[in-house]
Structure 1
């Protein structure tokens, strides 16, 4: 049966949706969510319900919801607060669904919330902010944000989060308690004798391998890493890449060892693609070897960046790969990165991408 692909495009000026029946011709609609900044949008593959999280210091935080593929929307911020006298929450930065149907939201300043009623109301999961290292967490360039959020696909008690710039933390009890999981990841900005601290690393992106929840990949401010034990230890896999710096990573939907990256040229060198030539890098063996995929992508004067959640895949075969740039260009590949085409050239700054496949 033919499948329709929906791209959920979070931007600084609302959520856009791109639809395609063949992954070649795309129809763009939006902006939705009253043009609020949308940092991340996801869809429930079982129901098709779309959730979009965002906000800023002016609007406040909220999660938007559509049960009719984007035709109409509601939103709620009920419960998205640390309480009276605590710092106000500026925005929702990441969303994830658990296998038990719970919806999670990561926010700025860094913390975790859970909803058990489809985003209508939220409850703070306090264990993370109560962690003894919390007073020492330092904000990254975008603030102290919980931007990466993974839930084990079978066990809702197992959670991983990435916080800039506190590092990766893990909970095995549904968020009641947490432990840092940063062993082996560098913090090059620290003094030489403090390059591998327990926490304080600036994680940029955290993704889970298909079919192997304890295999994680991490793009860090200071390198690219793989873990085979749920983040208890990390191994560098940056050899063969043009840079140790970048923001986004995306795992293949079925192949455990296949990973996609879009490196940038460095933290103080402009934060655009190396040599101003766009390439997505693909590994088929868990990061041991890398291949640059460039066909159809700009190869001169492309001074663009790609943000941490703006690279994703769909679940079709072959997998489609998508990324959006800081300049508002949306690129799509229907064949796992072998060939690329710009399918929307003039969007606002693209902050995030996710997909939903529907039988059509």
Structure 2
């Protein structure tokens, strides 16, 4: 049966959707949706085709928006998205994961909620927020946010989260108990002798490779890493990259050794494309070597950044790769990252990019 791909875009002024057939020669833009709320993350449920968008701010509060007709109509709910009396109020939803018939939501200040009724209501998973290391968590530049939400194929109880600036945590029991998994990741901003703490790392993005469910990649404030044991141990794979600093990472949908990154020029030198020349960096061997993919991308005056959730792949063959910029452009590759073209421009600041492949 014919397929089409939806590129789901979260922006500072609502949700947008780029739509194309399986050939992906041309994209049609729809939106803005979600009443132009600030939207941090938009995801699609592969099983049902439902689209969820999480966002909010101090003015609106947190909420999750929902569309069951591929974006034509939307509803939203914030029921249950609250901490107890006397605690810091939740500002926004930052990350979503729709899998195993449930919806997980990561929020700011960092915490995790779950919905068993398709986003109509949420309940806290307090084990993470009650972790003994909680007093040592400190906000990163965007706040104390839970921005990465990863679940394992075939096991709904395995969950990994990334929190800035606390690190990576793992649960093997569906979120009841958690353990830090940061061994080997640096925190260069800490005092000398304290750069490898158990918690306190500024993780930027965590993604799970296809396959066994144990291969993870992590873009950190202080380097790029791979783990082959579910995050118990990490080792650096940044050699060959133009910078150790960046935000997003995206895995190939079928090849666990193939990864895409967008390094920036550094954390204190502008946070834009190195030499103002845009490139997506790719590895085909798990990070042993890297190559820069530039064809079709601007090679002068590219002073834009790409945020932590704004790089994604689709599941078609060959795989599509997409990223969104802080200046409102979406770039698309339909040949697994070899060549690129601009698929949309002049959007609001782009917070996230995800994909959903559905029957046409």
TM range (shorter): over 0.9
Q: 2: distance between equivalents of 1:170 and 1:262? A: 25
Aligned to 1:315: 315
Contact 2:260 2:280 in 1 (8 A): yes
Aligned to 2:335: 335
Give the CA deviation at 1:86.
1.2
Give the CA deviation at 1:68.
0.5
Contact 1:40 1:94 in 2 (8 A): yes
Local SS of the residue matching 2:113: strand
Local SS of the residue matching 1:289: coil
TM value normalised by structure 2:
0.99
Structure 1 unaligned residues grouped into runs of 5+: none
Structure 1 runs, 4 residues or longer, greater than 4 Å off: none
Local SS of the residue matching 1:191: coil
Deviation digits for residues 280-326 of structure 1, max 9, x if unmatched?
Answer: 00101111110100000000111010000000000000000000000
Contact 1:207 1:249 in 2 (8 A): yes
1:33-182 to 2 correspondences below 5 Å: 33-99=34-100, 101-182=101-182
Q: 1: distance between equivalents of 2:359 and 2:34? A: 25
Give the CA deviation at 1:211.
1.4
Contact 1:307 1:351 in 2 (8 A): yes
Local SS of the residue matching 2:10: strand
Local SS of the residue matching 2:141: coil
Aligned to 1:296: 296
Give the CA deviation at 1:84.
1.5
Give the CA deviation at 1:154.
1.1
Q: 2: distance between equivalents of 1:90 and 1:152? A: 28
Local SS of the residue matching 1:346: coil
Give the CA deviation at 1:125.
0.3
Deviation digits for residues 17-61 of structure 1, max 9, x if unmatched?
Answer: 011113121110100000001100111111110000000000000
Local SS of the residue matching 1:34: helix
Structure 2 unaligned residues grouped into runs of 5+: none
Contact 2:16 2:31 in 1 (8 A): yes
Q: 1: distance between equivalents of 2:126 and 2:175? A: 8
1:349-360 to 2 correspondences below 5 Å: 349-360=349-360
Structure 1 residue 194 corresponds to structure 2 residue 194:
yes
Give the CA deviation at 1:2.
3.2
Q: 2: distance between equivalents of 1:97 and 1:51? A: 8
Aligned to 1:185: 185
Local SS of the residue matching 1:156: strand
Q: 1: distance between equivalents of 2:242 and 2:88? A: 40
Contact 1:212 1:256 in 2 (8 A): no
Aligned to 1:262: 262
Structure 1 residue 242 corresponds to structure 2 residue 242:
yes
Aligned to 1:224: 224
Deviation digits for residues 172-216 of structure 1, max 9, x if unmatched?
Answer: 111111111000000001112011000000000000001131100
Local SS of the residue matching 2:157: coil
Contact 2:138 2:166 in 1 (8 A): yes
Structure 1 residue 211 corresponds to structure 2 residue 223:
no
Give the CA deviation at 1:153.
1.7
Q: 1: distance between equivalents of 2:242 and 2:262? A: 10
Q: 1: distance between equivalents of 2:250 and 2:280? A: 11
Query: Cα RMSD between the aligned structures?
Result: 0.7
Local SS of the residue matching 1:128: helix
